[in-house]
């Protein structure tokens, strides 16, 4: 089981971040890429705690950009 | 409680300023930082692996509690403890006398876990100075410095809202921060509750219900963040599981009958040393 986020489509953290809030087991987290820790606008959302996922599909349904896919 | 752990002198002695500058600049990368090619992604699964899991747990604990040769990028030596409101106030009195004072900065955990901008972490002394220099931690209006009284009102308000108070080594043995956390948005509480990694220690106390005073009003039930408190219908009173209790005292603070007491952990032989 895996969650894949299309970072090209994802508008978080500036415009969105719904997945971070709707996820009950809090699977997602924002984090900086290699060297841009000082620029929060360029941070990306990643499913960090995938092992907690209960496959409720909420993140997929709630994403306005359809950037999240759940692979079973 | 050792007053020296809050002083600027100690911070200087252990080079806390350099450590904190690196740590706070890279804080949000702690989750995805790789150690020997392994990051914290999917940690639950990794810790369950037969031999590798054990090694990983040992290595993680070793990194968290390390006291020398700290690698600031990984957050070595940055761990904390739950404290009740009374102790939080005592600490604020001590720490407020430092040169750097107390600054209210953005909570890293809530930002990365829920994308919420919340200014509820109090940094003391050196940390107040370091964090004030990093733009993403301070409000757009500028650094918010609190005096001791304001800070005390602030923790009290957080307590009413149901936040657990925690103090943090930044790095061990200098205590530089007082946070108001909730599970699971707080990275420390999440690590402790979900992975049993001792990033956050339990408080020096446990809560006990006085069954003669408890009237079963259930006010306290919503306050527990640790799954230690529930309403026992058969007794008609609140029930606290002391083995789960972290001793934060949130339940005690709302009890209208003063039926919940905090008992020092060390006085109970069965719980002695269980942090």
Count of structural domains, chain A: 1
Three-state SS for B46?
helix
Distance from CA of A24 to the nearest CA of B (A): 10
Q: Identify the pLDDT of residue B216.
A: 93
Q: Which residues of A touch B134 (CB under 8 A)?
A: 38
Helix (H) or strand (E) holding B50: helix B50-65
The mean pLDDT value for A47-67 works out to 90
Q: Which residues of A touch B42 (CB under 8 A)?
A: 48-51
With CB atoms and an 8 Å threshold, state whether B112 touches A31.
yes
Q: Binning pLDDT at 50, 70 and 90, where does residue A35 land?
A: low
Q: Which domains does chain B have, with CATH numbers?
A: 3-201 (no CATH), 205-267 (3.30.70.20)
Rounded to whole angstroms, the Cα distance separating B150 from B90 reads 14
Write out the two tokens for B71: 């690698």
Distance from CA of A71 to the nearest CA of B (A): 15
Rounded to whole angstroms, the Cα distance separating B53 from B43 reads 9
Q: Identify the pLDDT of residue B89.
A: 92
HSE at residue B166, side-chain half, CA atoms within 13 A, is 29
With CB atoms and an 8 Å threshold, state whether B28 touches A37.
yes
The terminus-to-terminus CA distance of chain B in angstroms comes to: 16
The mean pLDDT value for A25-39 works out to 78
Task: Judge whether A26 is closer than 8 Å to chain B, CB to CB.
Answer: yes
Residues in B whose CB is inside 8 Å of some CB of A read 25-29, 31-32, 40-45, 111-116, 134-136, 184-185, 190, 194
How would you write the pLDDT of chain B (275 residues) with one tens digit per residue?
A: 677 777 777 777 888 888 888 887 777 777 777 766 677 777 878 888 888 888 888 888 888 888 877 887 777 888 999 999 999 999 998 887 777 788 899 888 888 888 888 898 998 888 888 888 888 888 888 888 888 899 999 999 999 999 999 999 888 888 888 999 898 899 889 989 988 889 999 999 999 999 999 999 999 999 999 999 999 999 999 999 999 999 999 999 999 999 999 999 999 999 888 88
Q: Which residues of B touch A38 (CB under 8 A)?
A: 25, 134-136
Residue to test with chain B: of A10, A47, A49, most B Cβ within 10 A: A49
A30: nearest CB among B26, B45, B111: B111
With CB atoms and an 8 Å threshold, state whether B31 touches A31.
yes
Distance from CA of B81 to the nearest CA of A (A): 23
With CB atoms and an 8 Å threshold, state whether B28 touches A17.
no
DSSP B221-252: GGG-SSS-EEEETTTTEEEE-TTT-----HHH
Q: Identify the pLDDT of residue B157.
A: 94
With CB atoms and an 8 Å threshold, state whether B29 touches A12.
no
With CB atoms and an 8 Å threshold, state whether A30 touches B113.
yes
Q: What percent of chain A has pLDDT over 90?
A: 28
Q: Within its chain, how far is the Cα of B203 from the centroid?
A: 10
With CB atoms and an 8 Å threshold, state whether B43 touches A49.
yes
Q: What is the CATH number of the domain that holds A11?
A: 3.30.70.20
A43 lies in which domain range? 2-71
DSSP A20-61: HHH-TT--EEEE--TT-TT-GGG-EEEE--GGG-----HHHH
Distance from CA of B124 to the nearest CA of A (A): 22
Q: Identify the pLDDT of residue B275.
A: 87
Q: Identify the pLDDT of residue B184.
A: 87
Rounded to whole angstroms, the Cα distance separating A42 from A27 reads 20
Q: Identify the pLDDT of residue A51.
A: 86
ipTM of the complex: 0.87
Rounded to whole angstroms, the Cα distance separating B206 from B203 reads 8
């Amino acid at each position: 089981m895996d969650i894949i986020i299309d970072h090209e489509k994802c508008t978080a953290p500036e415009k969105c971040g719904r997945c971070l809030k709707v996820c009950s087991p809090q699977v997602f987290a924002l984090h900086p890429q290699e060297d841009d820790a000082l620029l929060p606008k360029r941070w990306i959302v990643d499913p960090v705690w995938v092992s907690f996922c209960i496959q409720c599909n909420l993140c997929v349904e709630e994403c306005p950009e359809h950037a999240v896919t759940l692979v079973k | 409680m050792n007053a020296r752990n809050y002083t600027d002198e100690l911070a200087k002695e252990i080079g806390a300023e350099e450590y904190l500058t690196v740590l706070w600049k890279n804080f949000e990368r702690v989750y995805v930082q790789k150690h020997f090619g392994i990051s914290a992604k999917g940690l639950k699964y990794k810790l369950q692996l037969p031999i590798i899991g054990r090694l990983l747990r040992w290595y993680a604990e070793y990194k968290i509690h390390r006291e020398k040769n700290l690698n600031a990028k990984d957050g070595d030596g940055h761990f904390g403890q739950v404290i009740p409101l009374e102790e939080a106030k005592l600490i604020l009195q001590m720490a407020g006398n430092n040169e750097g004072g107390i600054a209210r900065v953005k909570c890293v955990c809530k930002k990365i876990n829920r994308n919420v901008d919340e200014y509820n972490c109090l940094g003391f002394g050196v940390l107040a100075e370091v964090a004030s220099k990093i733009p993403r931690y301070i409000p757009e209006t500028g650094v918010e410095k609190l005096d001791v009284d304001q800070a005390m009102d602030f923790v009290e308000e957080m307590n009413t809202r149901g936040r657990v108070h925690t103090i943090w080594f930044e790095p061990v043995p200098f205590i530089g921060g007082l946070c108001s956390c909730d599970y699971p948005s707080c990275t420390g509480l999440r690590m402790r509750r979900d992975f049993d990694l001792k990033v956050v220690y339990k408080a020096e106390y446990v809560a006990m219900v006085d069954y003669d005073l408890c009237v079963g009003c259930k006010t306290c039930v919503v306050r527990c963040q640790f799954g230690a408190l529930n309403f026992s219908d058969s007794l008609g009173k609140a029930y606290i599981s002391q083995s789960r209790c972290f001793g934060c005292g949130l339940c005690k603070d709302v009890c209208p009958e003063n039926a919940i007491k905090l008992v020092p952990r060390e006085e109970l032989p069965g719980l002695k040393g269980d942090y």
